[in-house]
Structure 1
Amino acid sequence: MKLYYSPGACSLGIHVILEEIGKPFEAVAVSTRDGSNRKPEYLAINPKAKVPALQRDDGTVLTEWPVIAWWLAKANPMSNLIPVEFEAETRCLEWMDYLCGTVHPQGFTRMFRASNFARDAEDEARVVAQGKELAAGYLETIEKLWKGGTWLLPSGYSVADCALFFLEHWAAGRAGIELPPRLKAHHKAMKDRPAVERAMKREGISP
């Protein structure tokens, strides 16, 4: 397998999942900061110009965070990265959709890519402030809906925790947002996992 990622981007969560599984894979950096994701070489792999992308052993490519995470977990059942019970798996997918489809783009992308939402350069400060407010609110919502113990789901550690981790990493680091208590504890528990340590080291990210 081959993971196309940008250091510190949401692809970090998929990187963690691959480290948890433990099978050999190649990690290929495609920096979204310098626009490498929009170069012809990468567009030939993923025309959506996004990371992550996962090239499977048969050469086919998967895109979209929740789908890649779901496929990796289902294709590697011995890793126990997704609940077996149907309702619990449904809730895992529900969380991944919210984290990747709402919290990420509506909150953090507004902060980090304000020009995508602003009317002009002068409007960017407003967009950043709006994104930070939205992101903090989403994190509080996660805190209120928390039903697990250490991990997000009552059924235990899963790919949903890896999705939450990259958002916590952004909040506590780049965005300067104070994590609510359960998320703060979760963030620490994630950083203590060897798979997370390996992924961050490979991407050159400070814990």
Structure 2
Amino acid sequence: MKLYYSPGACSVAIHVILEEIGRPFELQLVALKDQAQNTPEFRAINPKGKVPVLVRDNGAVLTELTAIAFYLGSTFSEAGLWPADVEAQADTLSFVDYIAGTVHPQGFTRQFRASRFTPNPADEAKVIEQGKALAAEYLETIDKTWKGDTWVMPQGYSIADAALFFVEYWAVKRVGMPVPPRIEAHLKAMLGRPAVQRALAASGMAA
């Protein structure tokens, strides 16, 4: 398998899952800061122009964080990252999709790429503030609806934890915003996992 990633991007969630699974994989850097996602070479692999991208062992390309996380968790079930019960599977997918489809773009992309949300540069500061407020709201919602104990889901550590990790890491390490108690404890627990430490080190990210 090969993971196309960019340091500090949401692809770190998939990197963590791959490290947890323990199967051989390659890393292929796509430097978003250098607009590498827009090169013809990368667009030939993923016309959407974004990471993560997973090239499977059979050569097939898979995109979108939720789909890749589901594929890895369910395919390599021995790693214990994907529940066997269909009710728990639905809850896990719902959580991962909330992170990837709402918390990430509305709470954090607004802060990091404000120009995408307004044609007027003068309004970008307002977009950033809106992103901060939304991120805080979303993390509070996660804290209040927490179903697990140390980990997000009652069945234990799963792909949901890897998904939450990248946004809580952004909140604390990149933005410097306060986070709710469960989120703070979860980030600390994630940073203590060897798989997370390996993923961060490979990307040059601070633990």
TM-score normalised by length of structure 2: 0.99
Q: Which residues of 2 match residues 1-207 of structure 1 at below 5 A?
A: 1-207=1-207
Matched position secondary structure for 1:19: helix
Tell me the CA shift for residue 119 of structure 1. Answer: 2.8
Structure 2, unaligned runs of 5 or more: none
Tell me the CA shift for residue 173 of structure 1. Answer: 1.4
1:169-206 residue CA offsets vs partner (Å, 9 max, x unmatched): 00001112111000100000000000000000000000
Work out the CA distance in 1 between the residues paired with 2:177 and 2:95.
21
Q: Percent identity at matched positions?
A: 57
Tell me the CA shift for residue 22 of structure 1. Answer: 0.5
- The letter for the 2-side match of 1:136 is A
Count of equivalent residues: 207
- The letter for the 2-side match of 1:164 is L
- The letter for the 2-side match of 1:191 is L
Work out the CA distance in 2 between the residues paired with 1:86 and 1:66.
17
Matched position secondary structure for 1:4: strand
Work out the CA distance in 2 between the residues paired with 1:165 and 1:28.
21
Tell me the CA shift for residue 13 of structure 1. Answer: 0.4
Work out the CA distance in 2 between the residues paired with 1:91 and 1:55.
26
Return 114-123 or 100-109, whichever deviates more. Answer: 114-123
Work out the CA distance in 2 between the residues paired with 1:121 and 1:179.
29
- The letter for the 1-side match of 2:120 is D
Tell me the CA shift for residue 142 of structure 1. Answer: 0.3
1:52-89 residue CA offsets vs partner (Å, 9 max, x unmatched): 00001111100000000000011101000011111011
Tell me the CA shift for residue 147 of structure 1. Answer: 1.4
Q: CA RMSD in A?
A: 0.6
Work out the CA distance in 2 between the residues paired with 1:68 and 1:193.
21
Work out the CA distance in 1 between the residues paired with 2:138 and 2:54.
28
TM-score normalised by length of structure 1: 0.99
Work out the CA distance in 2 between the residues paired with 1:191 and 1:204.
14
Work out the CA distance in 2 between the residues paired with 1:3 and 1:147.
30
Work out the CA distance in 2 between the residues paired with 1:90 and 1:121.
41
